[in-house]
Amino acid sequence: MTVFFIAMAFLESAVVVYLRALYYPDGFEVELVRMDPLLVRTEVFRELATMIMLLAPAALVTRSALERFAWFCFGFGVWDIFYYVWLKVLLDWPASLATPDLLFLIPVPWVGPVWAPCLISIGLIVLAILLLRRSALGSRGSLGGLTWLALVGGAGLMVASFLVVPLTGSVDLTDMMNGEGGIPEEGPLAAEYPWPWFLAGMVACSFGLWRIWRPMTRTQ
Q: Is 204 exposed, middle or buried (0-12, 13-18, 19+ CB in 10 A)?
A: buried
DSSP β-bridge partners for residue 100: 113
Residue 185: predicted pLDDT:
43
Residue 141 identity? G
> What pLDDT score was predicted for residue 61?
87
Question: What's the pLDDT band for 186 if we cut at 50, 70, 90?
Answer: very low
Out of 38-47, 69-78, 81-90, 144-153, least confident range: 38-47
Specify the pLDDT at position 109.
Answer: 77
Where do the structural domains in the chain lie, given as residue ranges?
2-219
User: For residues 25 and 27, what is the distance between their CA atoms, to the nearest angstrom?
Assistant: 6
What is the predicted pLDDT for the residue at 106? 77
Residue 188 carries which DSSP code?
Answer: T
Q: How many CA atoms lie within 13 A of 74 on its CB side?
A: 19
CA neighbor of 84 nearest in space, from 75, 93, 73, 71? 93
